Amino acid sequence: MRGQAGDVRLYLVTGPVPPGADLVDVVADAVGGGVTTVQLRDKDATTDDLVRLGERLTERIGTRATFVLNDDLQAARALSGAGLHVGPDDLHPARAREALGDDAVVGWSLHHVDQLKDEAAVAACSYLAVSPVWPTPTKTDTTAPWGLDGVRRLRDLVPADLPLVAIGGISAANAASVVGAGADGVCVVSAICSSPDPGDAAHTLREIVDAALAARAEEGR
């Protein structure tokens, strides 16, 4: 059972915000600008920290965006309705599905094409993520970047009804090319979190993604 992916068109993964800015305000502005899914990611936070911050974030976001935790199943379980994003070195997606139930959003990063041979994992997921498309200073411990050819290759291999998002080095300058290559949504950290105006950055990205999805639909792809 895959659960519902929710709307993955513009997917914000949290990261460092400029000095003096509050992450909750940044995320709220970004959701106001058009972010459809928010992932709380802080590799240094404890489960308690994540739950406390998750409560503040979900209170501000309400039902305007899907909310997902990175890596931490316990934190996801503590936050009603939260989903979980895992990678191949984390909890297996089928275990996350069992723990969170049929309706939860469960996402899985694709680092290697061989991961698609794990049918139980793919079947448990609400979406898959091409990770990373390009190298990025935001996360340096990645496997080799897929590039746009990798996005095309994975879109051909992943079941057509399973949303495929893309992450890593994506900005307003290249988001359309990622959607053109077959991604159903783009995930960003710095393009929004490092922006002096996160709401405007999200609005610009959302317009680009929506236009690229519409162009793809018109071409019948």
Ligand X SMILES: Cc1ncsc1CCOP(=O)(O)O
Ligand Y SMILES: Cc1ncc(COP(=O)(O)OP(=O)(O)O)c(N)n1
Q: Applying CB under 6 A, which of residues 188, 201, 205, 208 lies at the interface with ligand X?
A: 188
In 3D space, the residue among 206, 214, 220, 187 whose CA is nearest the CA of residue 5 turns out to be 187
122 annotated as ligand-binding: no
The CA–CA distances, whole Å, from 205 to 58, 79, 200 equal 22, 28, 9
Q: Give the residue at shortest CB distance from Mg ion.
A: 87
Which is closer to Mg ion, CB of 71 or CB of 184?
71
Size of the site for ligand X (CB under 6 A): 15
Q: Applying CB under 6 A, which of residues 14, 36, 66, 131 lies at the interface with ligand X?
A: 131
In 3D space, the residue among 150, 143, 147, 145 whose CA is nearest the CA of residue 135 turns out to be 145
Active-site residue, from 56, 95, 139, 153: 139
Contact status: 70 vs ligand Y (CB under 6 A) = yes
Q: Is 221 a catalytic residue?
A: no
Residue 109 parent element (H or E): strand 106-110
Q: Is 41 a catalytic residue?
A: yes
DSSP 46-87: -HHHHHHHHHHHHHHHTTSSEEEEES-HHHHHHSTT-EEEE-
Q: How far is the CB of 110 from Mg ion (least distance, A)?
A: 12
Contact status: 72 vs Mg ion (CB under 5 A) = no
Q: Which residues contact 135 (CB under 8 A, 6 or more apart)?
A: 142, 145, 168, 169
Token pair for 44: 């240094």
Stretch of 17-25, 57-65, 111-119, 163-171 contacting ligand X, by CB under 6 A: 163-171
Token pair for 169: 């080095």
Which is closer to ligand Y, CB of 19 or CB of 89?
89
For 138, list phi and psi in degrees, rounded to 5. Answer: -70, -30
In 3D space, the residue among 36, 85, 35, 38 whose CA is nearest the CA of residue 58 turns out to be 38
Q: Give the residue at shortest CB distance from ligand Y.
A: 87
Size of the site for ligand Y (CB under 6 A): 18
CA distance 98 to 184: 26
- 151-170 binders of ligand Y (CB under 6 A): 165, 167
Stretch of 58-66, 83-91, 95-103, 208-216 contacting ligand Y, by CB under 6 A: 83-91
Contact status: 90 vs ligand Y (CB under 6 A) = yes
Catalytic residues, which ones? Answer: 41, 109, 139
Site residues, ligand X (CB under 6 A): 13, 131-132, 136, 138-139, 142, 167-170, 188-191
Q: Residues comprising the binding site?
A: 39-43, 70-71, 90, 109, 136-139, 169, 189-190
